[in-house]
Structure 1
């Protein structure tokens, strides 16, 4: 465990505080234990002295009295003296020599079970209690004297002497138990404080590791959250930050990849027509055309490639504007029936040339939609152009326009060759072409479907595709109720 770690610092602080608290508590406990213990002994001996006084005051048989007093003294392992109203010892039992028939006030005060002050207090009717060395017993004793009175006067006294040594031994046992308990508690506190410190700051250590990983570019690490307190909230915030940074980084990587692919694809798309234009131009400059027809063919190829470059640049600019939100759509109510009729006229000749049948199913109840007429027409043109070009002779294309609930549904279905399953997710990407050789021969730029998707999304709609090789393709457009005129 590193000395500079926050776990170690907290552990040291907790241990210091624990030592201070336990030390102060131990000192206080030790200082008051003696007083409490001897106070308890005083109350117990006082109670016993009163009981002895009760049965001796009514006992006239001296032998019976001595027997009872002896039983009581044996019970406490001490000395009990019973005085009458004249201060003469009536019974004396227990350790040390008997003082029976001696006076409460001795001839030699320095060699007496009671001091002058004890005798004075006892004769005045007060309870006596003290501990210390007693020359009479030649040992440390605990002394309790209880006066026995009737309503008018003092009629006697009971004095109990108990050696302190056995009591001190019991007290020492209590103190030893206290010391062992304190040491054990301190050891337990040190262990628990370490475990507590480690558990409390483990999330912080995890956060530190995750933050370091983030600094090194690894945003995949996460913190396990087991609490809902401030530490848990901080861990959750760090997890959220890591996730957001990971997502942003992935977006930047995808954007960078898209840009690289865009530049590569654009270079490729422009390189071929430019090479063709250059080749035919050089052929014309070198007078390689043998006659007017061949020269016209060269010029026609140059024109077609130039037109293709123009379409490519136009599509790129349109897509860029829509992706950046700069395209200014001219929104108005659009009649899809009229729009479909216009598109049908545009494609009827091309469809006849290709031997493809166009079929339109348009519901009379199709509502007007709020949109850009030119852009919606561009959607139809792109989708129909793809359908016509990819449907073999004898096939058919079915265009269905209707509504369901508050949505307008547009479906363009062809009986063409279909799209391979692995190509379906990528058909919306810029410059993606499932069949590159056929795309070039048919004049596509590879941006049509990307533009179609962006136009529909700008109108708040959704476009999806279903396709199966050998069966055909279905494009489905849904314009939401917000775009429909009620």
Structure 2
């Protein structure tokens, strides 16, 4: 039980940490990407302004001259394009050019494709009269930009993974330390419950014996006193069963797995069918089975019989006359699936998560009217968990319930 809680805490801790780190990584990447993109654009603008400022005009015609060599442009993955005032290409130098239509209004353009390219278009103004004489478009490949982002992604991703690994190690240590005092407190509580239940057995047995003697030789007592002794005997019987169940729950985790033996579950279920067939017939309940032969597992035969006894008794208690109870046992892969189905009163959806709690009962679906201690399903679940299995419940009010037990098979 505490292992599951520890794992749940660790998963929650790692989920929160992973969420925080993801938000941080996304924020860093967005800020860095925008900053790097703005730097690239600023460099292209500066280059374009420098080329535009050095441009000359002869007879109102743009004279193409650039202080930058073509080799230098190619080495820097850049290119220059000159356009007249009508947007017609005059000349170009470099390696990478965008294929997008010329647009004087859109100063920054980005072209996607095998090689992403960013371009900045700037006007060329004649310095003497301020007249527009053409446009210069500066382009640059974004391969280096994209490679930088890939390295950033790799670094951030690796950092997150390393952080989660070390956080997992630290989380395991911290959750163990956090759960240790809780486990110790729970063990002390279980020990107290076991000791108290054990000590109560003797006085309860004495009360039960004296009440039985008084009822056996009831000739000398009044009728009203006889009824009181019968009530005492009934209450004592219920208290005895309660202490026995509490003692069993307290000792469930102490079952030593090395003492487990190979158990034929089919044989156990067949014995229980024969045992409770008379009781179901008396209640006019149709009791039937579908059992696969030789279903083996490693476990404690006595505890497993108690598990299915509690489930069958629970079904009998809450199945009305002329109802049906069916036990189905099969093997699927490495699992044994045992279903105890009934056509009883059913369990409300909001109560399904509560039925295995000790002493829990709904107004209609759970009561002590059948003489039970209110611990039957809690004991069944404890035994199932001890055998590394689980119980799954499905139910509909007024239709019935199905308790599905899943255990590890052998062979």
Pairwise TM-score range, normalised by the shorter structure: 0.3 to 0.5
Please state which structure has a larger fraction of its residues in helix.
1
Give the TM-score normalised by structure 1.
0.41
Structure of higher CA gyration radius: 1
- TM-score (structure 2 length as normaliser): 0.48
